[in-house]
Amino acid sequence: MPSTNLTFSSAEAHRNWLEGQSALPRGFRVGRTRLEFMPVEVAKPAKMNLTLIVLDEPTPSFAALFTRNAFPGAPVLIGRQRLKEPTLGAVVVNNKVSNVCAPGGVEASERLCSAVAGKLGLSASQVLPCSTGVIGWRLPVDAMVDAVPQAVSALEAGSVMPAAEGIMTTDLYPKARRAVVGNGSIVGIAKGAGMIEPNLATMLVFLMTDVDVPREALRTTLHSVTQRTFGCISVDSDTSTSDTVALLSSRKVPCPSLPEFEAALERVCADLAEDIVRNGEGVHHVMRVRVHGAPSEEVARGIGKSVVNSPLFQCAVNGNDPNVGRLVAAIGKYVGANHPEVDLSRCTLRMGGRVILEHGAFRLDNEAEKALVAHMKGAELYASVAPPDGLTFRPPVTFPPHERAVEIEVDLGTGPAASTVLGADRSHEYISENADYRS
């Protein structure tokens, strides 16, 4: 990660590059429409996108992974059932309301599936529902059913962009990544900016391919790729109730080889995972923590997660402050609580490629501090801009200016295992975004 190392000078430049990623594989159409509704719980109207992803013909080759949050959304409960069905023909996605623990939530989702199926000549069990947004509100299912015909008439082949945009909530920009496999391709889109520490999958990722991979191979491959990609990121350590990764094959093009397909899928997923972190709510800096020399992959990943999820280290990174003491505290916190048998005396830490701790003691001086500050400033996506009302911070960019990261390396010196974890800093923009998200 990343497979690219891009910089963008403007939202237009980023948009142009995205268009180049967005060619739909053969056999797919996408479309969306917009509707307004009145949430029961608050007294003002809200807007929602209804997005469809449709296969020309239903396919037996589909795979999906769902959140392990023990309060899953109604669409997740339904999605787990859909995995047993012989074929899948369409996905219907809404933003704004996540349909979690809402009274009658499963019935509402099934009604929407039936409406979509009716317009597409499918059965409801061939439609996968996905919802993202506020937890606690009810799905405005009447308004959604009414909007289905418009979404169906908007269906088009060609570009995935209408779907990539339709599924956004607090995302600053749409996310799409593409890889070529033989004569076919894999295109993925992702939604996710907050409540991101996926446990098996992440908030709404849809992968479409025309490469013909049988159902079981598709499922095994998606599982292992997801572990190494979406399983290694965190924006705020909060595992969503709705995480879903789905992979659909239209089976139009023969698969050159499964390893080649898996490598391409991993590239798309790894890039989307990094896109999700880079577009995380209020993110100023992406952090990449490479842990190696670990006794197990679990320990390596645990240390990486502990570093990227440490609120104090996140704030220091936000301030371009190389507060390496908090880095050490975050590693020691995880190891002390979970693997006290791991000996940290052989641990070497690097930041921006520079050794900062060796044999249990810091190697710091004025010159090192300056170099670390420069590394952190180089990885900054933007600086905070004082808000007009003095309190409500908004990011001053709507595109990713570059793909650089604060690079942290942890060599435990005690074993063969490794893991790379991506995370982000913590900013005023995150607080402002989330102190009153639903208003």
Scanning residues 167 to 226, which ones bind its own copies (CB under 8 A)? 194-195, 197, 199
Our answer to whether residue 202 is catalytic in this structure is yes
Within 400-439, the residues that bind its own copies by CB under 8 A are 426-428, 430-439
Among 87, 227, 237, 414, binds its own copies (CB under 8 A): 237
**Binding residue (CB under 8 A) for its own copies from 40, 180, 263, 374:** 40
Choosing from 78, 93, 100, 211, the residue that interacts with its own copies (CB under 8 A) is 100
CA distance 178 to 25: 10
Within 270-329, the residues that bind its own copies by CB under 8 A are 309-313, 315-316, 318-319, 321, 323-326, 328-329
Are β-strands 28-37 and 205-212 bridged in parallel, bridged antiparallel, or unpaired?
A: unpaired
Sheet holding 244-254, edge to edge: 62-66, 244-254, 205-212, 184-190, 175-181
**Min separation Cβ 228 and its own copies, Å:** 18
Burial call 91-119: b when 16+ CB within 10 Å, e when fewer: bbbbbbbbbbebeebbebbbbbbbbbbbb
Which CB, 54 or 65, lies closer to its own copies?
65
Catalytic residue from among 202, 229, 244, 420: 202
Tell me the C-alpha to C-alpha distance, in Å, between residue 172 and each of 49, 134, 416, 424, 431: 16, 17, 39, 15, 16
Choose between 48 and 218: whose C-beta lies nearer to its own copies: 48
Both structure tokens of 44: 């003002």
Candidates 359, 173, 385; CA nearest to 281 is: 173
Contacts of 122 (CB under 8 A, 6+ apart): 58, 89, 90, 116
Q: Which helix (H) or strand (E) holds 259?
A: helix 258-278
Site for its own copies in 352-391 (CB under 8 A): 357, 360-362, 364-366, 369, 384, 386-387, 389-391
In the complex, least distance from residue 26 CB atom to its own copies, rounded to whole angstroms: 37
Per-state percent for the chain, helix, strand, coil, to nearest 5: 35, 25, 40
The DSSP call for residue 305 is H
Nearer CB in complex with its own copies: 254/387:
387
Under the binding rule (CB under 8 A), the answer on residue 342 touching its own copies is yes
First to last CA, the chain: 36
Residue number with CB closer to its own copies (369 or 407)? 369
Eight-class DSSP state of 57: E
Q: Please report how close the Cβ of residue 428 comes to its own copies at its closest, in angstroms.
A: 5
**Quick check: 70 binds its own copies (CB under 8 A)?**
yes
What is the smallest separation between the CB atom of 181 and its own copies, expressed in angstroms? 33
Is residue 78 within the footprint of its own copies (CB under 8 A)?
A: no
Residue 240 interacts with its own copies (CB under 8 A)? yes
Catalytic positions are 202
